[in-house]
A and B are shown apart, each in its own frame.
Chain A
Amino acid sequence: MLASLTPTTTWYLVLAAVLFSIGVVGVMVRRNPLVLFMCIELMLNAVNLTFVALARRLGDVGGQTTVFFVMVVAAAEVVVGLGIIVAILRRRPNATTDDLAELKG
């Protein structure tokens, strides 16, 4: 029975959903801004996995194109985000996300 079991698109989508919610929990629980950023990467990857699985299901390469652009934007986002985090941590070492309320104008 196990031999005839092949993973369908649904399996991939459910796996991506679980990965996404792990990222959501991480963003809400962790206080280190760097780890927070990694959790955002987890969520981005979950969505990428969804796109790729559905691209195969629909036989449409457009989903893969979207993932391609998401990766470019994610790379740019990480570069700018880490730049901001470096600037913050340089001023206040050991800053946690709770300390960032001082950005309020």
Chain B
Amino acid sequence: MSTATILIALGAFLASAVEMVEALTIVLGVGTVRGWRSTLIGVAAATVVLAVLVAALGPALQQIPIDALRLVVGGLLLVFGLQWLRKAILRSSGYKPLHDEDEAFRRERADAEAAGGERRAGLDWYSFTVAFKGVLLEGLEVVFIVITFGSAQGHLAVAVVGAAAALVVVVVAGFLARGPLERVPENTIKFAVGLLLTSFGCFWGAEGAGVDWPGDELSLLALVAFLATFSWLAVRALRRRRLAYTPAEAGA
């Protein structure tokens, strides 16, 4: 198994896990308050839409010439991955609040209790739409990562298996915990996903633009190490900046 294959499986697993934790919080918040039937139908409908997207777009992208595909996919992954990485750096340095699953769960329950009881097609429409939208929106990021990871390297199945494994782990963990998974180190996982997406984006984007990487796939590890070191330094610099700013702010 090559370096790229292992990193693709790991990236798809981690990205899927962290997004599914957030989706699970929404589903649990609605389901525990309003009942499970309409909620689970919403989850199933969103899952079908996501699966159709992967099944349709994955093979279609593989018809595009590999260099053009890697240039476009690399560029997209780079821009997309940098969003994850920038947010993770800002969260770690205290400039952006950490995602609080317990707080999100309580907010979701409060909204579910306050919502009306409209019924459509025999379903509690609030439960159905919130569960559908929650799973679809969180899942779209996973689909984007799975399709881009899988198509650029020709390992769609590896990325799908990685994402599916995460789905199983999160659902089982949620079932055992019977609540939101607030102890999952979300920002650390998002940091890792941001690093992997950005590293793959760099690797494939440059390769698609005509670059030959020294050491071929092994340079992926060097890219991850370089970006991790840079991010760590950025977090340290921003933390120092924030601490230096706080006394002045207090005195203002």
A binds B: no
| Chain B residues engaging chain A, CB cutoff 8 angstroms | none
